[in-house]
Amino acid sequence: MAVIRDVMPAFDLLQPESAAEAQKLLEQNGEDAWVMAGGLDSFDWLKDRIKKPKVLVDLSGVEELKGIHATSDGLEIGAMTTLTEIANHPAIQKDYGVLSQAVELVASPQIRNQGTVGGNVSQDARCWYYRGGWPCYRAGGNICYADTPVGRNREHAIFGADRCVAVHPSDSAPALIALDAKFVIRTPKGERVVDAEDYFVGPELDITRLNILRPGDLLTAIRIPATWAGAKFYFEKVRDRNVWDFPLMNVASAMRLSGGTISDIRIAVNAAAPKPMRLKAVEDLVRGKPANAETGKMAGELAVKGAVPLQFNAYKIPLMRNLVKRAIGGVEAGPSGQPPQQAKGGLAPPLRDPGSQEAA
């Protein structure tokens, strides 16, 4: 059981000043190195004395990893750019609003001031058994404490569980998938660019990691192509309290409409599975159909096909169904006639659907 002692285990602190230097240090130290961006995930692990790296590579001094730059095909966001900067950036607000909405709903203002987009997409699972230092599968053991008849798994996965049932906790990840973002990784073999959805891995492939970064790899930037600039976006996050909380589930979509018909769409949800899920089947289903409640309902039904609830998280099935439904069909007006304030951090009221009594 983890005990917070406020004294981190000793490690060598390395503070590179360039991405090349940082990657070299990571490569040299391999499995012994811990890469730290904003420190919000790292300090939990270190102060709980659960992770005890020999070397900590602090990226805070690497200026080239910070900032948002226009490119010939959209934007490039440095991995060390803070979530606040992304949320407030005019170009992102104007053309890629789904991302600014998503990062604005991360945790609290203080955390967004310190937290980075690279850290947000690369953070570790929040399962308390795992974070508590118990020897679960993800920690290298041979059991999932959450996936037991009495395990507390209300926040855990309904899709993609493979021994481990923890979910990916990022809010920015589904927005980046909806925007068809590319992740730029500096590896010992050179630069590698991967699609956003390919950055994440499930436990069936690697139960000890949530992303494809290997020892020696460094996420340097996230590129957002102009493809979806100015599209119709939707982001909604459902959580237990309105600030400083991880998602019970979130959904992000980018949609192109042609006369009320969906000509193209990308949609992703997170906190439903051990990695963010791009809903390709839903995209294929709704393409060419009108963006209305009926299409949304169909999409929602399809989205939850194959879901396997655990003991305490069956509510996530109607939750996901309704989030997808709202992302595509739009949010019905609340009792006051006003749409919900999901983009401001509040929880959207449940869709008034007689068949969805379990909805969030």
Q: Which residues bind other proteins (CB under 8 A)?
A: 1, 134-135, 139-145, 147-149, 161-163, 201, 204-206, 308
CB 220 within 8 A of CB 185: yes
Identity of the amino acid at 343: A
- Nearest distance from residue 49's CB to other proteins, in Å? 13
Instruction: Give the nearer residue to other proteins in terms of CB position, either 37 or 310.
Output: 310
Instruction: Give the nearer residue to other proteins in terms of CB position, either 64 or 162.
Output: 162
Instruction: Give the nearer residue to other proteins in terms of CB position, either 162 or 358.
Output: 162
Instruction: Give the nearer residue to other proteins in terms of CB position, either 145 or 234.
Output: 145
CB 75 within 8 A of CB 230: no
- Nearest distance from residue 192's CB to other proteins, in Å? 16
d(CA 79, CA 35): 12
- Nearest distance from residue 307's CB to other proteins, in Å? 13
- Nearest distance from residue 214's CB to other proteins, in Å? 8
Instruction: Give the nearer residue to other proteins in terms of CB position, either 1 or 10.
Output: 1
Instruction: Give the nearer residue to other proteins in terms of CB position, either 132 or 334.
Output: 132
DSSP 63: G
Of 159, 163, 169, 173, the C-alpha closest to 138 is 163
Sign of the alpha-carbon dihedral angle for 340, 346, 349, 350: positive
- Nearest distance from residue 81's CB to other proteins, in Å? 30
Question: In 3-state terms, what secondary structure has residue 257?
Answer: strand
- Nearest distance from residue 144's CB to other proteins, in Å? 7
Q: Return left, alpha or beta for 179; rule: phi > 0 is left, psi -120 to 50 is alpha, else beta.
A: alpha
d(CA 166, CA 205): 14
Exposure on the CB side of residue 236, measured as CA atoms within 13 A: 25
